[in-house]
Amino acid sequence: MKRILIFMLIFPSTFVFSEGSVNYVAQSNVNLIWTILAAFLVFFMQAGFAMVETGFTRAKNSVNIIMKNLIDFAVGSLAFWFIGFGLMFGLNSSGLIGKPGFFWDGFLINSDGSLNYWSFAFIIFQNVFAATSATIISGAVAERIKFITYLIYTFLVSAFVYPIFGSWAWNSLFSQGGKGWLEALGFIDFAGSTVVHSIGGWLGLAGAVVLGPRIGKYVNGKPRPIPGHNIPLAALGVFILWFGWFGFNPGSTLGYSDNLGIIAVTTSLSASAGTLSAMITVWILKKKPEVSMTLNGALAGLVAITAPCAVVSPLSAIIIGLIAGVIVVFSVLFFDNIGIDDPVGAVSVHGVCGAWGTIAVGLFAAEPYGSVNGLFYGGGFRLLGIQALGALVAFLYAFLIGLGIFKLIDITIGIRVSRKEEIEGLDIFEHGIEAYSNFKITHN
């Protein structure tokens, strides 16, 4: 009764119906409102990515980073409208791909000619998710990729690469009657550790490999740090991302759900644990609680809990986050050491910790949080195997397709800016303006 009273306050119009229909109408209203509110939170993550990437890179490339993060949302949204959404959520009868349906054709109108209001809410939520995946790549290829190249691949990613993998894991969310082959196996990726983050991270890895390191990153084969120019901005970005994640994970319920609070709790606990363990790891290794790695630790915890957030206990969430925070430190140093230059750690945070979170489902999933049990809760190896398979397939799919796309772009129009442009800054050459004119910038 208390709940009905609250609904009455929020949605007075529903009470023109009889008492019996009240709950039903209120539920669908709440679903719609929660889904679009969560979409707005996830949209704000775009600002978070822009700030993290700007802060962790040099002042001379700030305008370029901002333009990439702005334009990938714009291009990505239109690409997702053009064909991406259809590929991801159209009827997937083969398990491999959704029936395209260009421009959302067939999704917006019910068979009786009325508008399908739910479709619009679902579309905006999925739209901001697709943009998140595309924008992750930006960090890994920062400070050396041609802007026009970025436009081309961001279109390809949002129109094809992201949606096709998405249709394997999430197609049934839109209830067209089909099912992707991974979800049919029982693959669990609640809010997208794999679908969104790993795919973005592995595509970024492909980009970083094809591009090669920034000038000055390696001296006589030894990695040299290229310090970011604005740590407070990077920190603001991480806070914004953490905030946005409360839409990303709890929003993936796509409506009212009794476990909303649980998902918010596991999400935040894992982020806290990741922050702490990354800080302690780097403190032990380098004798200082270093800020950029600690910030990455928060994101590592968030990415890792994204798949398991709805199926694990709070204690498991803490363990998952703790491990993610350690993984991210060693992963960043590893990629640095083998000659892959990822200026902001996007590959380690999103690719590697996304894979970890996906596999963690197979270890930590437990009733009654979820409906299945992982290895540590008596579920045996079956779920773990499926999760590992999904993570592996995501790596092979995104990394190989990414290599293909970036290589193709490289041999046709060229992927990298000129040496002169890279040294003097992408801002002036690509965009004709400095980020901080009238503001002293020291050389580095």
Partner 1 sequence: MKLIIAIIQPNKLEEVKDALNKEGISRLTILDVEGYGKQKGHTEIFRGREYEIMFTRKVQLEIAVRNDKEKEVVVETILKNARTGNIGDGKIFVLPIEEVYRVRTGEKGEDAI
| Contact predicate 436/61, CB 8 Å | no
Instruction: Please say which residue, 3 or 224, places its beta carbon nearer to partner 1.
Output: 224
Least gap, CB of 403 to partner 1 (angstroms): 25
Least gap, CB of 85 to partner 1 (angstroms): 36
Instruction: Please say which residue, 177 or 227, places its beta carbon nearer to partner 1.
Output: 227
Find how far residue 28's CA is from the centre of its chain. 27
Extract the tokens encoding 324. Answer: 């993610």
Helix (H, G, I), strand (E, B) or coil at 164: helix
Instruction: Please say which residue, 124 or 293, places its beta carbon nearer to partner 1.
Output: 293
- Name which of 183, 179, 57, 189 is nearest 129 in CA terms: 189
DSSP letter at 218? E
Longest dimension (CA), the chain: 78
Instruction: Please say which residue, 235 or 329, places its beta carbon nearer to partner 1.
Output: 329
Instruction: Please say which residue, 88 or 140, places its beta carbon nearer to partner 1.
Output: 140
Least gap, CB of 344 to partner 1 (angstroms): 9
Residue type, 53: E
- Name which of 331, 363, 386, 42 is nearest 205 in CA terms: 331
Least gap, CB of 336 to partner 1 (angstroms): 7
Instruction: Please say which residue, 219 or 411, places its beta carbon nearer to partner 1.
Output: 219
Least gap, CB of 442 to partner 1 (angstroms): 8
Least gap, CB of 286 to partner 1 (angstroms): 5
Extract the tokens encoding 198. Answer: 């790993």
Contacting positions for partner 1 (CB under 8 A): 56, 223-228, 282, 285-286, 288, 290, 292-293, 296, 329, 332-333, 336, 345, 442
- Name which of 149, 139, 124 is nearest 37 in CA terms: 124
Measured torsion, CA atoms of residues 170, 173, 178, 180, in degrees rounded to the nearest 10: 10
